């Protein structure tokens, strides 16, 4: 799930890795593409090895310096959290993003507000 992807991204940044691989899932791929759009990671690609799918994630280091990101899981398997578009607020005064799984796909908190659609509030990242 996306929990593991977020932890791997955080740990790879702390270890100053350039890239890493993780098993493929549809939600991981959508979350990674969203993180590419917002500059948290540089690139994501899907590859097949012996009938097994993998996601290759390349990390973004702006101007060669180290980067520290953090995240907070909102909706967990033991406690699902659903939010309407009116209840979605800015994350860290606009310095982070909240990610929702909506009927229109995976989108950020600001995109969900503009599209007037709610859904499962997955996590916040800053």
Q: Do 9 and 54 belong together in one domain?
A: yes
Q: Do 13 and 46 belong together in one domain?
A: yes
pLDDT tens digit string along 54-113?
Answer: 999 999 998 878 788 999 999 999 999 999 999 999 999 989 999 999 999 999 999 999
Sign of the alpha-carbon torsion through 30, 18, 76, 48 = positive
Contact (Cβ atoms closer than 8 angstroms) between residue 107 and residue 122: no
pLDDT tens digit string along 88-100?
Answer: 999 999 899 999 9
Domain that holds residue 94: 71-125
Q: Do 29 and 81 belong together in one domain?
A: no
Q: Do 82 and 55 belong together in one domain?
A: no
CATH number, domain with residue 80 = 3.30.1490.10
Which pair of structure tokens corresponds to residue 38?
Answer: 């917002």
Q: Do 14 and 38 belong together in one domain?
A: yes
């Amino acid at each position: 799930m996306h929990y593991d992807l977020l932890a791997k991204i955080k740990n790879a940044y702390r270890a100053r890795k350039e890239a890493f691989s993780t098993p493929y899932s549809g939600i991981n791929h959508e979350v990674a593409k969203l993180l590419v759009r917002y500059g948290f990671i540089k690139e994501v690609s899907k590859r097949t090895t012996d009938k097994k799918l993998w996601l290759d994630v390349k990390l973004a280091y702006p101007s060669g310096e180290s980067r520290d990101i953090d995240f907070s899981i909102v909706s967990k398997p033991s406690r699902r959290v659903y939010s309407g578009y009116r209840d979605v607020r800015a994350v860290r005064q606009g310095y982070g993003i909240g990610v929702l799984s909506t009927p229109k796909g995976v989108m950020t908190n600001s995109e969900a507000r503009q599209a007037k659609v709610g859904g499962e509030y997955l996590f916040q990242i800053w």
